[in-house]
Structure 1
Amino acid sequence: MKHILIKFEFNESMDKEKIDYDLYNIQGEIVYKRGQKIDSEFLEMLKNVNLYKKDTTIDESEQDIYKREKIAEYTRELLLLGIKKKASDIQIETSENRGQIRFLVNGVLHEEIKLEKNFTESLIDRLTKLANLSVIAEKYQKGSITISLFNRAVEFQFSSLSTTHGEKAILQIAGEKKERIPGLPELCFSHRIFSSLLPTIEKKRGLFFVIGPVQSGKTTTIYSLLKYLKECGKNIITVEESIKYQIPGVNQIQKKFVRNEGYNTFFYNLLNHNPDVAMLKSNNDKELIETALQAATNCNFIIESTSNQDTLQFLTDLINGINDPKFLGTTFTGILAQKLVRKICDHCKEESELSPKEIDKLFLWDEITKVTLYKGKGCPHCDNTGYLGYIPVYEQLIINDELQKLIIKRATVEEIQAQLKKNSFQDIKHDGMKKVLRGLTTLEEINAVSQKNKMVIM
């Protein structure tokens, strides 16, 4: 026979000097001892956090029912806490003896909650079932969970994998199902990139790639491009793992509804409906890219997303992986690569001057004697990190006649690099430095996402 926890209902009129019973959190850990004096901070916690008191006893069968109810309630509270903290990820993992939950907020991982190992395992099982996945599978699994919070539907991308000490799960907070799609001017494009991007995506034929690492904002960029093309009167079809945004007038299909013929065959048949634009995610699938190339030759403009991090490497892999490089050279229109960096918090932004040594290291012009940049001092709005939110940094490669010839002849990396230099190609660090000088982000953030050691401002 064991005690059960009954939710404690706080009443403003109750005696604020003491409470005549112990209070526990949902894991059964004591947070208040009977008779303890109540200070203002604890009063505030009573109003905002679910606490429990022990009551009666239950037998083993009732205990199982209670445990399931407890896990369900804790799951909801956890998801709610992640949203309140403005976390991008909730990470749940088990060690040899315990479990823990951590929140990724503004790019920084915070260790917040310690749990009993068996409770953590039950929590992951609950989330796995909500994502319609198998609780006994030992392979990597991925799904989505949509729940109602704050009277709105909120979507979480769920993934789990088995480790030596048990399951590890990650919840990516996708946000509201009907979140507003930003317009292209809101995506922090430089004038140089924006002025060449629009004519490229407005072409009636061709294959255009948006690339970048996982969680680099590619999906948002692609949806903004689709929104723009829809406003231009284009007939659009998409095939997506998960529909993050609903775009009025766009035919959006989830990959899980693709029939037994497979993704490639389904997509190819879909083109019989003669869309002006078709969007899909390739994951570097050679057969799928070949299918997209053929579609683009038939006047269907394809926007394709993949997870390669480097534009040059992606281009060379593409050239070497395609059966007919001439086919690629005449169809391929360009690449937009992007990564995310943390944005300086506007609430605590302050000026920061570079030292002469830093100026000399960063710039080639001897005449530059003073450079004022910005940083975040840290405040409650940004959890004292100095950063609040993210912005993308880009590099864009538009295929011109010279690059087309190099693609057709399967040019080497060195030949392509030489041509990019002639074309005055600007990499991600160049775009990042523009955003540093505009006071949007910091040098530390740009250096963290850049593989190169020095930036030249010309």
Structure 2
Amino acid sequence: MIDYSYAYENKIVLLNETTTYADILSKYELDYDTINNIKNLIKKDVNVIYDKKYNFEKYFEEYYSIVNVDSSINNEFLSILDKNIDILFDYIIKKAHSFSSSDIHIICEDNCFVIKFRINSILRTFSRIKEDKGQALLRIIKLKSNIELSKTLSPLEGRFDYENLTYRVSIIPTVFGEKITLRVLGNIKNIYTFADIGLSDEDQALLLRKIHKNSGFIIITGSTGSGKSTTLFTIMHRLNDGTKNIISIEDPVEYKINGITQIQVSQEKQIDFHNILKFVLRQDPQIINIGEIRDYDTAKMAIQSANTGHLVFSTMHTNDSISSINRLKDLGIVDFDIANSLNLIISQRLIRTLCPYCKKEYVPNADILNHYKLDENRTYFKKCGCNNCYHTGYDNQIAVFEILEVDDNIKHLIQMNNLEEKNIKIITIKDKIKNLVQNGITTIEELSKYM
């Protein structure tokens, strides 16, 4: 078998093989060096097939599905398929949890369903099941989520608890039928510390100083799935000591927390962030969490609240700290109000870490080292793939943080419209990922994704 990570990177899959040669399906035309590399990998002659009549994605996901890669899982799964649908549901949920999956996708295709897990940010096919099994799985998920079985033509949402985990359910109609996505919201009994989520001692000290102020605006920013909710509610738990009135406006409410007043945004009931915030301010809050800054009205009220004696938290979708300030400007907030209200911006990203069992030392091309400004005297590792990491080359994810303290100098730069990375002292996410690469924890590929 060609290793998953190599096959994924080069978009190739083994169609069939004999003792002397192998047919390789390729999504794109391969150059001479790549073909030679494949020959050396499999120790056979190679016949490369580049033909658009083949559905490359289908062949690839089936060949490298988790049940095909791991024979023990294959045997387990085959034995489960003949049993009650409740047992199949339990097995899929537990297996996804064993892989630390963030999402489970159940996709209706022509005459079958495909089950996929998002593992370390990558969507991996677990297996395919027959249409009748998929429909039965869909019904049991609807029942557990209190969703009407008869509703099939409109988007649906719900949630259910399973053991110590909460799952958010999203169902949409497609040309083949209904597609389900289950988002794992986390352990409802688990409370993280700042160290647990990956903050350094220095970052923890800075954060503690800022969250214990009586007023101001703290933004947590990052792409979807970067861990913003986990960071935010770790902070909320820290502040939730019974002496403060904390109100949180969310869309949706992901983690229910005793001691915090949580409000669900609802477009049907015309409860959006901006409308409900006006009423929240009459509830004598000390701390307000606004799930996300999406528009001018919400941003304006958040900043006004921060400037009138409230400690306000919210999230945004930007790549770094400075971009968050620019986004507020783009929404129409004036420089003075931004500078006057902001206390802190936390930008974060999840980075995949190399599997310690199969990572391989190598010497990167000098041009690549120069491009990313990496030290040529350090030792570098590349992903390989093995049974321990399910042939991905990575075994986990860690959060990387960039924390910008909005001090008097930063406030001045904001008002002068001169806030650039070169003008401030900050250890950026890029710097931290470079350190992880140079310490053999992650790959240049992960750095390139951020850059």
| TM-score, normalised with respect to structure 1 | 0.70
Counterparts of 1:7-86 in structure 2, within 5 Å, are: 45=75, 49-50=79-80, 52=82, 71-86=85-100
* CA offset digits 1:19-56 (Å, max 9, x no partner): xxxxxxxxxxxxxxxxxxxxxx89x9579943649xxx
Amino acid at match of 1:75: F
> Which of the numbers 181, 184, 188 marks the counterpart of 1:170?
181
Change beyond 3 A, Cα 1:86–1:329: closer
For 1:212, the aligned partner's letter is: G
Deviant stretches of 4+, over 6 Å? 256-259
Question: Residue 388 of structure 1 corresponds to which residue in structure 2?
Answer: 395
Q: 1:343 to 1:243 in 2, by over 3 A?
A: farther
Which residue does the alignment assign to 2:306?
296
* Matched residue, 2:318: 308
Within 1, Cα distance between the matches of 2:156 and 2:267? 19
Report if aligned partners of 2:80, 2:88 keep a CA contact under 8 Å in 1: no
**What are the equivalent positions in structure 2 for 1:400-411 lying under 5 Å apart?**
400-405=407-412, 407-408=414-415, 411=417
Provide the C-alpha distance between the structure 1 equivalents of 2:405 and 2:289, rounded to a whole number of angstroms.
19
Deviation for aligned residue 1:253: 1.7
Counterpart contact for 2:216–2:307, Cα < 8 Å: yes
Q: Look up the equivalent residue of 1:399 and give its one-letter code.
A: V
Taking the aligned partners of 2:192 and 2:431, their CA distance within structure 1 comes to: 24
Alignment deviations for residues 43-73 of structure 1 (CA, whole Å, 9 cap, x no partner): x9579943649xxxxxxxxxxxxxxxx5555
Distance in 1, matches of 2:327 and 2:81, equals: 56
Q: Per the alignment, in what secondary structure is the counterpart of residue 441 of structure 1?
A: coil
Shift of 1:392: 1.1
The answer on whether the counterparts of 2:343 and 2:405 sit within 8 Å (CA) in structure 1 is: yes
Aligned partners of 1:340 and 1:391 also within 8 Å: yes
RMSD: 3.7
Partner of 1:209: 219
Say yes or no: does 1:416 pair with 2:446: no
How many residue pairs end up in the alignment?
Answer: 379
Q: Quote the Cα distance in structure 2 between the aligned partners of 1:396 and 1:327.
A: 20
Could you say if the C-alpha distance between residues 361 and 257 of structure 1 is closer, same or farther in structure 2, counting changes exceeding 3 Å? closer
Aligned-pair distance for 1:261? 6.9
Describe the SS at the equivalent of 2:165. Answer: strand
1:96 counterpart (110, 119, 123):
110
Would the alpha carbon gap of residues 309 and 163 (structure 1) be closer, same or farther in structure 2, given more than 3 Å must change?
A: farther
Residue 110 to residue 320, structure 1, CA distance change in 2 (3 Å): closer
Shift of 1:144: 1.9
The structural deviation recorded for 1:184 is 1.2
Q: How far apart are residue 310 of structure 1 and its match? A: 4.7
Rounded to whole Å, the distance in 1 between the matches of 2:371 and 2:76 is 54
| Amino acid paired to 2:117 | F
Greater mean alpha carbon deviation, residues 211-220 or residues 198-207: 198-207
1:49 to 1:399, Cα distance in 2 relative to 1, 3 A: same
Q: Hey, what does 2:18 align to over in structure 1?
A: none
Partners in 2 of 1:101 and 1:325 — Cα distance?
48
- In terms of mean alpha carbon deviation, does 392-401 or 344-353 score higher? 344-353
Q: Unpaired segments of 5 or more residues in structure 2?
A: 1-70
1:323-342 to structure 2, matched below 5 A, reads: 325-342=335-352
- Pairwise mapping of residues 90-239 of structure 1 onto structure 2 (< 5 A)? 90-117=104-131, 119-133=133-147, 136=151, 138-147=153-162, 152-179=163-190, 181-190=191-200, 193-230=203-240, 234-239=244-249
Which residue among 250, 272, 278 is the counterpart of 2:282?
272
Identity, % of aligned positions: 22
Q: CA offset at residue 82 of structure 1?
A: 2.0
Question: CA separation of 1:421/1:133 partners in 2, compared to 1, >3 Å: closer, same or farther?
Answer: farther
2:19 counterpart residue number: none
SS at match of 2:304: helix
Counterpart residue type for residue 183 of structure 2 = Q
Q: CA deviation at 1:137?
A: 5.9
**Residues 198 and 441 (structure 1), Cα distance of their counterparts in 2 relative to 1, 3 Å cut:** farther
Provide the C-alpha distance between the structure 1 equivalents of 2:291 and 2:428, rounded to a whole number of angstroms.
24
Question: Judging changes above 3 Å, is the alpha-carbon distance between structure 1 residues 197 and 320 closer, same or farther for their aligned structure 2 residues?
Answer: same
Report the Cα distance in structure 2 between the residues aligned to 1:330 and 1:46, rounded to whole angstroms: 60
Q: Indicate how the Cα distance of structure 1 residues 138 and 81 shifts in structure 2: closer, same or farther if over 3 A, else same.
A: same
3-state secondary structure, aligned to 2:196:
helix
CA distance in 1, matches of 2:263, 2:358: 42
The corresponding residue for 1:262 is 271
Contact kept in structure 1, 2:316 and 2:324, CA below 8 Å: no
Q: Over residues 321-356 of structure 1, what are the superposed CA-to-partner deviations in whole Å (9 max), with x where a residue is unaligned? A: 245543333112232111111123345566555565
> 2:373: which partner in 1?
363
Partner of 1:186, secondary structure, is coil
User: In the aligned structure 1, how far is the partner of 2:88 from the partner of 2:114?
Assistant: 14
Contact 2:160/2:168 (<8 A) preserved: yes
TM-score (norm: length of structure 2):
0.71
Q: Distance in 2 between matches of 1:173 and 1:444?
A: 27
In structure 2, the partner of 1:445 is: 446
Write the letter of the residue equivalent to 1:441: T
CA contact (8 A) 1:184 1:228 kept: no
**C-alpha distance in 2, partners of 1:116/1:45?**
17
Shift of 1:103: 1.9
Letter in 2 for 1:171: L
Shift of 1:274: 3.1
Relative to structure 2, which stretch is displaced further, 315-324 or 428-437?
315-324
- Which stretch shifts more, 212-221 or 233-242? 233-242
Gaps of at least 5 residues in structure 1 are 1-40, 54-69, 453-458
Give 2:435's aligned amino acid.
K
Q: 1:251 pairs with 236, 260, 267, which one? A: 260
Conserved 8 A contact 1:239-1:279: yes
> Contact 2:216–2:311 at 8 Å: present in 1 too?
yes
Q: Secondary structure at the match of 2:80?
A: coil
**Aligned-partner SS, 1:50:** helix
Aligned partner of 1:87 among 60, 79, 101: 101
Give distance in 2, aligned partners of 1:299 and 1:333: 13
SS in 1 for 2:419: helix
Cα distance, 1:138–1:334 mapped onto 2, change above 3 Å: farther
Q: Are the counterparts in 1 of residues 215 and 306 from structure 2 also a CA contact under 8 Å? A: yes
The one-letter code matched in structure 2 to 1:385 is T
Report Cα offsets for 1:379-402 as digits up to 9, x if no partner.
443223332221112233333445
